Structure 1
């Protein structure tokens, strides 16, 4: 069985915001999010799409009969404020029951509902039931790359005044073929005009990109990186920043970003230029970009 692991609130936030053409929440086997608090607390407010944990007549947690737990790719449990697996709080006890039948690790959210809702108050809800259509139409937020500081988005998300306000965006980097039309934006936008082509020259703009993102991150001001679909160009720019700012290798930056956004995919031309950037920032090419992962 998968066992039980602790996870940061940002991990759950990014799980909730994965999508391809539609939100991954519409996939019934993607995420089972459980609120292990008592029903009164759950009804007062919970994380969006969460289900209240099932208990028997003695108040003990049980595996729900109406959910195929063993086939769930992600099972995440939270309570009020559990911060460690050693706490043996409601979330840990619930997770241990589910872990007996799950093929994957069951995650417990560090800090529980209190911490998650403090970081992402716009994801609090009292809604209990969701139709497939509602989940299909769920609008994912930009994924979080550096907690509270760096986000990655497509153009629809970048143009959303509500999302930018909720995330307190103070600056935006747009890497696309045209300037970003964002009339309601009250933050500076740096447009780096670049086609999503294997022949496009990204490398010559990487220093300017990293300086722009870094200037916001160092000030503690949230910044968003965006491209048309939020998959290739903004992923390449974000990877370059992670390599520059945190001194990551290309491989480490790639794996880090993949955990944040599962369908990120810089085109092959950008991958080669990121390899050149690795040499520039670290003095060596430590990543073999001929491997299938790249």
Structure 2
């Protein structure tokens, strides 16, 4: 039987915004999001028929405002399983999560704070739709992933030049580590901070690039935004290698994370983040610079 665990709002936000070429929501076995409905004072959970829970990577259940697992089990009321308009409704909550946990290979997650907290943090995700077609999912434009709630985001060039994303995430600065110099769409009210020497490909064997980047004025200006509580977006062309390298270095410098801690945190936020091998060595050297010693063994296969 799988675990039943709490899922923070930021975690669900990042799950919804994973993508390779298109949103991962198009994958049949990626996410099952089960919400609570009401019938005459009773709570029930609605799940589309035919969903194969055993192969679902993420299974997230939410109600109005769950704050803890214990509160969830006490508050949600019992109702027998029934069929309604072609959907299977599961209840009570303990039955719902218990049934799912028995079938799932992965932990079943309960959204902490429920719909109320998630919609308050991310009001631009509010919708009345229950089901989406494959075409609708394919056309969805993912948002930048959230590295630190409300403060640090990481994304690609398209996201960095979207005025709607600027508005929704309340960005106040964007940090460019891409090769692109055309910033059409980046609003005048944002601080556009460009890392020097990013208009050419970084050398795999250069151990000075990260130090050059992180010692420049731009990095310290972005740090000032961070200290002031402003929202910052770090972006590169594809949002995979360069921006994840600088984001990891940012966590090492400002939060004193080890390389391993920063790496694991970044993987939770963006599953396909992948600094190139030369950057990993530079991040290891940066760990020595920020912490005074090398604490992460980068010869392990996952680095």
> What TM-score do the two structures reach when normalised by structure 1?
0.89
Specify the alignment match of 1:54 in structure 2: none
Q: Secondary structure at the match of 1:107?
A: strand
Specify the alignment match of 1:80 in structure 2: 64
Contact 1:210–1:240 at 8 Å: present in 2 too?
Answer: no
Paired with 1:135 and 1:62, the residues of 2 have a C-alpha distance of 20
Paired with 1:63 and 1:154, the residues of 2 have a C-alpha distance of 33
Cα drift, residue 100 of structure 1:
2.0
Runs of 4+ aligned structure 1 residues displaced above 4 Å come to 58-65
Give the number of aligned pairs.
278
Specify the alignment match of 1:214 in structure 2: 223
Q: 1:196 to 1:9 in 2, by over 3 A?
A: farther
Q: 1:59 to 1:179 in 2, by over 3 A?
A: closer
Matched, 1:32 2:32: yes
Unpaired runs of 5+ in structure 1? 41-57
Paired with 1:83 and 1:15, the residues of 2 have a C-alpha distance of 20
Matched, 1:238 2:247: yes
Contact 1:232–1:267 at 8 Å: present in 2 too?
Answer: yes
Q: Which moved more, 1:6-15 or 1:211-220?
A: 211-220
Matched, 1:279 2:282: no
Specify the alignment match of 2:20 in structure 1: 20
Contact 1:148–1:167 at 8 Å: present in 2 too?
Answer: yes
Contact 2:23–2:140 at 8 Å: present in 1 too?
Answer: yes
Q: Which moved more, 1:191-200 or 1:169-178?
A: 191-200
Paired with 2:225 and 2:182, the residues of 1 have a C-alpha distance of 19
Paired with 2:182 and 2:248, the residues of 1 have a C-alpha distance of 21
Specify the alignment match of 1:225 in structure 2: 234
> What TM-score do the two structures reach when normalised by structure 2?
0.86
- 1:210-245 per-residue CA deviation (whole Å, 9 max, x = no partner) reads 423321121111010000000011000000010111
2:190 to 163, 166, 187: 187
Paired with 1:275 and 1:64, the residues of 2 have a C-alpha distance of 46
Q: Which moved more, 1:262-271 or 1:183-192?
A: 183-192
Q: 1:130 to 1:205 in 2, by over 3 A?
A: same
Unpaired runs of 5+ in structure 2? 77-91
Q: 1:63 to 1:284 in 2, by over 3 A?
A: same
- 1:108-148 per-residue CA deviation (whole Å, 9 max, x = no partner) reads 11100000000000001012221111111211000000001
Q: 1:268 to 1:113 in 2, by over 3 A?
A: same
Q: 1:196 to 1:256 in 2, by over 3 A?
A: farther
What is the 5 A alignment of 1:101-140? 101-140=103-142
Matched, 1:205 2:238: no
Cα drift, residue 196 of structure 1:
4.2
Matched, 1:71 2:80: no
Specify the alignment match of 1:4 in structure 2: 4
Superposed CA RMSD: 2.1
Q: Which moved more, 1:258-267 or 1:59-68?
A: 59-68
Contact 1:92–1:108 at 8 Å: present in 2 too?
Answer: no
Q: 1:128 to 1:62 in 2, by over 3 A?
A: closer
